[in-house]
Chains A and B, each alone.
Chain A
Amino acid sequence: MANARALDKRRKSIRNIKKITRTMELIATARFKKAMDRATAANDYTRRITAVVSDLARAGLEVSHPLLEAPDETSQATLLVLTGNRGLCGGYNGNAMRMGVKTREELIQGIPNVRLEVSGKRGISGFKFREIAIDESFTQFDDQPQFLDVEAIADRYLREYAAGNLHRLDVTYTKFISVAKQVIVNETLLPLGKIEGADTPVDPDVANGLVSLYEFVPSAESVLEEIVPASFKTKLFKCFLDAAVSEQVARMIAMKSATENANEMIKMLSRTYNRARQSQITGEIMEVIGGVEALEG
């Protein structure tokens, strides 16, 4: 039978770890709620942009923009992989890494020049371990990505795309669907392809000027010119937000099961400890009785 004191010591250390994981779970829950609120707030913006685009389409405007169409050749691509800065969040970082590596291999087969950009310390060290060179890395995105930071990155992509140095942009990140479900996806953000709301049917009355839905200032084309880049930026921002929310959910779940496991272990150890203590006491009583009997005899 194990030593009762050693068992007790072990139980104490598990209790300490449990306190830590429990706290981390609570922190992750709070952060998740905040991140979730931000993601919901961002939806409002996207919804309004979609509404404007569909109004433009209804007024008979051909929705076209250089960002929407694929360039003639595709020889320069960039892959952006979004991971977390911290670990202890289950399979979150590992899954994003694996998907990133797979996508990169697929891209390399068809495109001569593939740049790799990684956000998150975990992803950076993961790629370093796999001996894959990273062209650009970001570590400034935590549970609350700032639009300003994302915009700076988005502007750089837009500039490179306009200059013809970038033909395709892929983003690998963890899409948040619900608390119970997050999936790793790879999305092609450039060329944008189509923007939501663009396929609204043309209203003939509006298009022919019989009914005027809106006055466009200075013109519908000009409004569109502003909207398409904005739509790209929001899409990229949404990727960062989703990744942040998913990371918090993953951590919450990982820490919850860690706490549960600790509880289980404490229960098991307590049982063994009690048994060990009991047998120790029994042993001592036996010794005492043995001593008494020896004296009487």
Chain B
Amino acid sequence: MGQIQLIIVTPEQTTLDQMVDAVTVPLIDGEAGILANHAPMIGRLGPGELRIRAGSSEERYYVDGGNVQVESNVVSVLTGRSIPASEIDVAAARAALEAAENESATTPVLAEMKQKSIAQARAQIHMAEKS
């Protein structure tokens, strides 16, 4: 089976650029697995776990939402933040969750932002507890 190139870009740097066998990205409405020769796609990411399989090893990253673009066997993930699962700061995530829950949401847009921060914090805690 062929390999695909995975590039994770954050505004600060290109976090990752390597050939992988398969990558699972957290879309906003569920996960999507991407193998070689995937059809061109642009997807919206939600906060969650990005899994990479290369050979027999599996790596897990937390991504903060963003976009994914698949084109001619290149997967580019554009995200605000990507952290390896082992480096997640659970205490900070819990604090962020609490802060987000106490926020007032008076308009629909604000409510949406609040939901997003809650989802981001929850996803981090969930991932950290799993490992």
Contact = CB atoms under 8 A, between A and B. Distances in A.
Interface string B53-85: 000000000000111010100001010110000
B41 interface: yes
Contacts, number: 98
Interface residues of B, number: 31
Nearest to B103: A159
Contact of B28 (A151, A155, A222): A222
Contact of A222 (B44, B78, B80): B44
Interface string A157-185: 01100111000000000000000000000
Interface stretch (A20-28, A97-105, A208-216, A255-263): A208-216
A217 to B, nearest CB: 4
Given A44-B14, A48-B9, A147-B12, A162 B44 contact: no
Interface stretch (A68-76, A107-115, A224-232, A275-283): A224-232
A225 B44 contact: yes
Contact of B65 (A41, A51, A220, A226): A226
Interface residues of A, number: 39
A218 B28 contact: yes
A2 interface: no
A147 B32 contact: no
A152 to B, nearest CB: 10
A48 B76 contact: yes
A254 interface: no
A155 B66 CA distance: 15
A215 B40 contact: yes
A52 interface: yes
Contacts of A147: 10-12, 80-81
A217 B124 CA distance: 23
A202 interface: no
Contacts of A216: 41-43
Contacts of A45: 9-11, 78
Q: Can you list the 9 inter-chain pairs with the closest CB atoms, starting with the nearest? A: A217-B43, A162-B109, A41-B13, A215-B41, A45-B11, A214-B40, A226-B44, A214-B42, A147-B12
Interface of A: 38, 41-42, 44-45, 48-49, 51-52, 55-56, 66, 146-148, 151, 155, 158-159, 162-164, 212-218, 220, 222-223, 225-227, 230, 233-234, 237
